[in-house]
Structure formats: structure tokens, C-alpha cells
Amino acid sequence: MKMIDGGVCAATGFKASGIHVGVKTHNTEKKDVALIVSEVPCATSAVYTKNAVKAAHIHVDIKHLADGKAQAAVINSGNANACAPKGEENAIKICNAVAKYVGCATEDVVIASTGVIGQEIKVKVIEDGMEALYISLSASAEGSDYAAKAIMTTDTVKKELAVETVIGGKTVKMGGIAKGSGMIHPNMGTMLCFLTTDCAISPEMIKEALLDTVKVSFNRISVDGDTSTNDTCCVLANGMAGNAEITEKNDDYYEFVKALKELAIQLSMKMASDGEGAKHLITCTVKGAKSEESAEIISKSVISSTLTKAAIFGADANWGRVLCAMGYSGEDFNPDGVDIAFKSDAGEISVCEKGRGLVFDEDLAKKILTEHDIIIDVKMCEGDGECTCWGCDITYDYIKINGDYRT
């Protein structure tokens, strides 16, 4: 397995693009609609937010993916089409416009939206822009680059990756684009992420693979504890790599899932790292918990703790915040068996042993915590469970961005 270029266009048979059609009115430079199209129909699966309030596109996608097949994906930024008038009606109109140009059924188009909640989406500008968008489709890396940029909202960097592996003797490629910067605390689905692969895999198995993957990637990050109404992660597999179709959990399946997980984890870390206003990527590794589930709950509680996030922002080695967040996670454990260390490229420092504070070099701690990537390393004495979750610090900029998001 190796990282390659090309994002969602890396896999054979996929084209993509992104242009500005006018959903975002403040800035005509900013792309606002992305399109991904496969030459042939794909085994397709998606997972969505567990928020009781769901965006219109989710209701449409659930119907369109009932048969586990799709050929195109359209994604707009600038408007979430959630709690908005004519939500489903407009989402279907957009799918219709795509289907017309691609030459597939409306039901073979998946759709996603991200942006402001509660305002009617400008369906006309999207319909009117569809021809230009379709014409601009490209199988080159540029196509994916444009699509990745078109789904950004408050993101400061595009998130795009691809990997290559060998399955059943054939080279299989997979890539993805994702957005997510605020309102990030995925539960089941996540932000927006579209993955493409040329692997031959059945609709049943692609669904299993996606569920296995999001559990250890997107569901293990948090920016602000707010689970969005629009979270969607979708994977399209067109089979053009020519491998024997994966129809059961055999070696090929596990090889495929391994690569998909790697791709998804890397994209997840990019999202956490680009959390709104973030200055630090925080990785919390928990070892010695009573189970993986328990380790995940504890690790997630730490990366979600506003006080821990503020301490990291201030490069303050305030491990009491970490232990406290572990304590209110809801998991039962012996605090007297907890060791905590902070790590980064600048070094490593133990700050708590057996639940008690150690005397440590504050200058070294400050130096370690001034790096961009910070690891909070937690060891417990409950069992063999371990898990890693990713988050970011909370900064003045986060508040600035969200104090006036709509206007």
C-alpha cells in the first residue's frame, strides 16, 4: 500500500470537477458545487449523521442507495439544505440535473450539502450551472483538486488523498475528498467525505467495509462536540481495476478494508488538524483500558474537553484537565493507575504517574506543547483495550469564526 496523487480521480474510470455557480454569494471566486462521475455504475454505500435533525440530502440518498448502486455524486457548499423550505424537492431537482448530463437515472445520483442551516437552497443557480460543471469534468488530479475545493466551507486547507494497493493480483486505487472544520463530532457518518475506488466489490461488502472504516476513523475525531445535521460519508466502487469481485469477507476484503481505513484515518486527522481556528492537532492515545470501547470513550472525552483544548492552546501542561475529562467520560476506572505524558517532535515528558502529579520541567513541557502535533499519551491499568482519537485546540479564532457564521 502506498500514498498516490489524484484524490477521487486516482481510481480508474472516475472524473471530477468543482466550479462556482452562485450558491456562495459573498465571493464569486469560491467554488461551490462539486461533481464526481464514474464511467460505469458503482457499488455504493453511505453512512449518515445520527442527529435526529437530518439534512434533506440524507433522506434523498437513503432512497437512491436502496439498491446499493450509484454513478455520480454532486455536493454543494454554502447551504446545508437542512431545516430549509422545499428541502427534498430541491435535492431531487439537483439530482435530476446531474442525471440528464451523465445519462443515468436520477436514483443513481447521490447528493450532499454543507453550509448554513435553514435557508432555501438556490436550486436554479445549480441547475443553470450544471452544463458548465459537467463539461469541466476531468480524470486528472486537477479534477479532484477542484472538487475538493468546491466542498470547503470554513476549511482552510482542502482534504484530498489517495492510496494504491494490490488486491487479487490487480492494482487497486482509492481516493477521497473531505470537508469538515466546525460542527465536527461525527456519530456514525461524518462531515462530508466522498471516496472512490476502482476495486470490484459487491454492494453488500462495500457497505460492511464502510461501516468498519468509519468506526475507527471519522467516528474518532472531534472539533467542537457538535454533531452536524449533514454528516455523510459515501464510497463509490466501480470495479474497473479488474480484480475478482469481493463478495465475502476473504483476504481480498481485508486488504481492501486495510487500505480504506488508512485513507479514512489520514483524512480524519486532516479534518481534526484543520478544526475551525485550530493551532494544534491533538492525538490522544489510551492504552490499558478494560476494552477498546472503553479506551475510545475515554480518549474521546479527553479530546472533546473544552478545558483540555484551552490548555493545549495555551501550551499549558495541565494534566489535571486530562485526568478530569477521563473521570467524567462515564467509564469506571481506577484513577490511581493512570499515567499521563505529553509528546511531540520536541520531546516527551511524564507529568502524572499512578494518578499523582510528578515534578517536571515546565520549560521542556512548554517546548513540547508549542509544536503543532501534540500527543496526549494515557496509560491505564484496567486491561488491554487501546484506542486513538484526534481533536484540536480551541482558540480565539474558533469563537471569532462561529460568533458570526451566518453573516
Residues identified as active-site: 190
Min dist. Cβ of residue 243 to a second copy (A): 39
- 79 vs 196, beta carbon nearer a second copy: 79
Separation in Å, CA 312 to CA 47, 305, 400: 32, 11, 18
Q: Using CA atoms, how far apart are residues 282 and 308, in angstroms rounded to an integer?
A: 10
- 165 vs 222, beta carbon nearer a second copy: 222
Of 26-34, 36-44, 113-121, 190-198, the segment contacting a second copy by CB under 8 A is 113-121
Asked if 353 is part of the footprint of a second copy (rule: CB under 8 A), the reply reads no
Asked if 369 is part of the footprint of a second copy (rule: CB under 8 A), the reply reads no
What is the amino acid identity at position 358? L
Return the closest-CA partner of residue 20 out of 11, 33, 8, 9: 33
Q: Which of 61, 255, 331, 339 is in the footprint of a second copy by CB under 8 A?
A: 331
Asked if 383 is part of the footprint of a second copy (rule: CB under 8 A), the reply reads no
Indicate the burial class of 72 (C-beta count within 10 angstroms; 0-12, 13-18, 19 or more): buried
Separation in Å, CA 367 to CA 283, 315, 370: 17, 8, 5
Asked if 332 is part of the footprint of a second copy (rule: CB under 8 A), the reply reads yes
Min dist. Cβ of residue 222 to a second copy (A): 10
Number of H helices, E strands in the chain: 11, 15
Min dist. Cβ of residue 319 to a second copy (A): 7
Q: Using CA atoms, how far apart are residues 84 and 267, in angstroms rounded to an integer?
A: 29
Asked if 225 is part of the footprint of a second copy (rule: CB under 8 A), the reply reads yes
- 280 vs 343, beta carbon nearer a second copy: 280
- 182 vs 203, beta carbon nearer a second copy: 182
Asked if 188 is part of the footprint of a second copy (rule: CB under 8 A), the reply reads no
The runs of H, that is alpha helices, within 191-346 are 203-216, 251-273, 292-304, 306-313, 319-327
The runs of H, that is alpha helices, within 77-171 are 87-102, 123-135, 141-150
Q: How many residues does the chain have?
A: 407
Of 157-165, 183-191, 239-247, 380-388, the segment contacting a second copy by CB under 8 A is 183-191
Q: Which of 51, 79, 165, 217 is in the footprint of a second copy by CB under 8 A?
A: 51
Q: Using CA atoms, how far apart are residues 20 and 227, in angstroms rounded to an integer?
A: 27
The footprint of a second copy on residues 155-174 (CB under 8 A) is: none
The footprint of a second copy on residues 300-319 (CB under 8 A) is: 304-307, 310-311, 313-319
Asked if 396 is part of the footprint of a second copy (rule: CB under 8 A), the reply reads yes
Min dist. Cβ of residue 198 to a second copy (A): 35
The site for a second copy, by CB under 8 A, has a size of 69
Query: Cell 490548555, residue?
Result: 311
Contact 70, 44 (CB under 8 A): yes
Q: Is the dihedral of CA 208, 210, 211, 212 positive or negative?
A: positive
DSSP tag of 244 = P
Of 12-20, 151-159, 179-187, 283-291, the segment contacting a second copy by CB under 8 A is 179-187
Q: Using CA atoms, how far apart are residues 310 and 393, in angstroms rounded to an integer?
A: 6
What is the amino acid identity at position 215? K
In the complex, the residues that contact a second copy under the rule CB under 8 A are 49-54, 80, 82-85, 116-119, 182-183, 185, 187, 224-229, 304-307, 310-311, 313-321, 323-329, 331-333, 335, 352, 355-357, 362, 394-396, 398-407
